[in-house]
Structure 1
Amino acid sequence: MSNYPNHPGAYPIDTSMAAADFIAPSVPHLQQQILKVLAEVSSQGATGDEIAARLGWERFRVRPRTSELRIKKAIVDSGMRRKSEAGISSIVWVLPEYQRQEAVHG
């Protein structure tokens, strides 16, 4: 198992590590799908819930991939927030070229 974020994260439990190994081959494709959504929405960005809805995924499939993409600097926190389905304030993710300057310097 490679180190995170180049390999899915896992708890040091056999089932968690097996799940990470199982999904690892599909992770680059899943990340590309998220990047495609963020390219489509441009500066409007998207929350994890919004990404999941656009892709027809369960919400739990998005968060690990956005965490990986954030660490790789492929996506950034826009500084904006929108409510999740649960009513909780959520990060609006954007591609780096759409990051607002006040979020960069502020």
Structure 2
Amino acid sequence: MRASAAGGYSSPGAIYPNTAGFKGSAETGREAAEAINAKLGPLQSLVLRKLRERGPYGLTPEECAELAGLGRVSLQPRFSELKAKGLIADSGKRRVNSSSRKRAVVWVIRDLAPEQKGVEI
């Protein structure tokens, strides 16, 4: 296992965020990460495409999953990977998820993110 800067792990020979990561030492997380790796590129591209379509309005992971017709569990980790790659950023906005009624980060393509004084996004 290889520790990532994001606090998770990658399988041997794999480097997060170019491959799916996992947290903890349970083999189920590692197995799930390895299983999704074949679909990782297309899923990351899907998230980027949906974010570009929404422009500055952005998307929460739940909204993206609903638009794509996929489960949130498949797409939410892609947001962390794309953030780690520097391709997307927190818009500074929050919206309530319909499933939980809790506030969620609204993500945008990095070029559309607000500049934060003294902080690199």
1:3 and 2:9 aligned: no
Moved more, 49-58 or 12-21: 12-21
Q: Distance in 1 between matches of 2:106 and 2:57?
A: 8
Q: How many residues align?
A: 104
1:83 and 2:111 aligned: no
Shift of 1:14: 2.4
Q: Which amino acid in 1 is paired with 2:19?
A: H
Q: Distance in 2 between matches of 1:78 and 1:15?
A: 33
Aligned-residue CA RMSD (Å)? 1.4
Q: Which amino acid in 2 is paired with 1:55?
A: A
| 1:44 alignment counterpart | 57
Shift of 1:3: 2.5
4+ residue runs over 4 A deviation? none
TM-score (norm 1): 0.89
Extract unaligned runs of 5+ from structure 1: none
| Match of residue 114, structure 2, among 88, 100, 104 | 100
* Higher percent of residues as helix: 1
- Structure with greater contact order relative to length (CA < 8 Å, sep ≥ 6): 1
| 1:21 alignment counterpart | 34
